[in-house]
Structure 1
Amino acid sequence: MTRDWLSWHEDYDQPGSSLAARLVEVQGQVRAALDRAPAGAVRVVSACAGQGRDLIPVLASHPRRADVTARLVELDPRNAAIAEDTARAAGLTGVQVVVGDAASTDAYAGMVPAELVLLCGVFGNVSDADVRATVGHCAALCASGGTVIWTRHRREPDLVPAICDWFAAEGFAPVAVSTPAEKVGVVVHRHVGRPRPLPPGAVMFEFLPR
């Protein structure tokens, strides 16, 4: 059965839902990442960006909005259209919405290494091996000193501690890790190493069938 990713977004609008809680946490971390970004141009990439809810509402009211160039990659054209309309309504001319496969490294060509990388809603939908592979690619996606924000449920088996170890092995330091009790599974890492070249034509992950 194929999930309808347009209707999936409806839970964001349900008070008390896990997605609504996750969104609040992610947006707070996005705001904090923009606050600490160095002066000058700020590049942002968002994989599986959906309707752009993680980034666009924050950017719309953030004092660094004019500094930001962002690329949101989303496979579902309906969600991408909503993200595009929302960005345009907010006057965010630096936000580019691309209908394409967020798993392909080619989707980020010319935009990385970025100061902020969003991987929200990815790690809970792919195999453990693909999570590990994607973490490895984060060292190419993220600039030195940049931030990666990712999500993963904290249900058993809880992979979050292992993912944090994988990020550490790739030159990342933890900034914030939600606890299982918080039930939102939002984690932030800072790249303390040097970015690697992004390999062209690589596939970072594949969504598991539903």
Structure 2
Amino acid sequence: MSRRDWSAWHEAYADPDSALSRRLVVVQARIRETLDAAPPGPVRVVSMCAGEGRDVLGVLDGHPRRTDVRGRLVELDPQLADRARRRAAAIGVDLEVVTGDAARSAHYAGAVPADLVLLCGVFGNIADVDVARVVAAAPQLTAAGGTVVWTRHRREPDLVPRILEWFAAAGFVQVWLSDKSEGYGVGVHRFAGVPAALRLRLDGTLFRFVGRD
């Protein structure tokens, strides 16, 4: 399979009527709600396969809590990572952008457990077994009471019902789920368990990004 041009893929955001743009609006609304409800003090954020960081950076630009936010965005594509890095600097937020494979747990060392974990644009581009693996690893990424925002398409066979089961088994409580009729899935889960220590495997990865969505 040829490598997808992810920079070109992001051009769909230029069309406000595209499914990608409509999903982004929903994701940003959920991020904004999470930040608005966060208690005073630092808010730690981690984004896996962050792309240009449009979701979180689009919310932080002008948000009253932006100076409270700390954390890390991990993106493999150097062009997208650079765009995220420049935008974060432009709006004055303390978010580190790492250019690297988001599947490697080592890239999250020192940044987790986070109060807000973004798994957007991940589940639709990896195998089902890897989706289950990422969800099972979410307690290593998420602080007690922290929030995970995730996305997954609703095409058949629809994996979302199983994703909900996997989150529940990992100690998460469902907070919100978009309607299936929208064609895309956006979910919000709160971690009700106890954070687990981040297990670092230099030779292992959480998933393999296959680029299907």
Q: Considering the TM-score relative to the shorter chain, is it more than 0.5?
A: yes
Unaligned 5+ runs, structure 1: none
CA distance in 2, matches of 1:209, 1:63: 35
Give matches, 1:88-107, under 5 Å: 88-92=89-93, 94-107=94-107
Give the aligned partner of residue 17 of structure 2: 16
Residue identity in the other structure for 1:183: G
Query: Does residue 189 in structure 1 map to residue 180 in structure 2?
Result: no
User: 2:198, 2:38 → 1: CA distance?
Assistant: 22
* Residues 150, 188 of structure 2: 8 Å contact kept: yes
Partner of 1:37: 38
Distance in 1 (alpha carbons) for counterparts of 2:191 and 2:39: 14
Aligned pairs for 1:100-115 (under 5 A) are: 100-115=100-115
Map 1:193-208 to 2 at 5 A: 193-201=193-201, 202-208=204-210
CA contact (8 A) 2:100 2:107 kept: yes
Per-residue deviation at 1:163?
Answer: 0.3
Aligned twin of 2:79: 78
Instruction: Tell me how far 1:184 sits from its aligned partner.
Output: 2.5
Residue type of the alignment partner of 1:106: A
Structure 1 residues 199 and 57: CA distance shift in structure 2, 3 A = same
Q: TM-score, normalised by structure 1?
A: 0.97
Q: How does 1:32-71 map to 2 (within 5 A)?
A: 32-71=33-72
- 2:125 is matched with 125
Match for residue 148 of structure 1? 148
Distance in structure 1 (CA, Å) of the matches to 2:131 and 2:144? 21
Cα distance in 1 between the residues matched to 2:137 and 2:30: 21
Against the structure 1 CA distance between its residues 191 and 56, is the aligned structure 2 distance closer, same or farther, given a 3 Å change threshold?
same
| Aligned CA-pair RMSD | 1.0
Partner amino acid, structure 2, of 1:203: T
SS in 1 for 2:8: helix
With 46-55 and 178-187 compared, the bigger mean Cα shift is at: 178-187
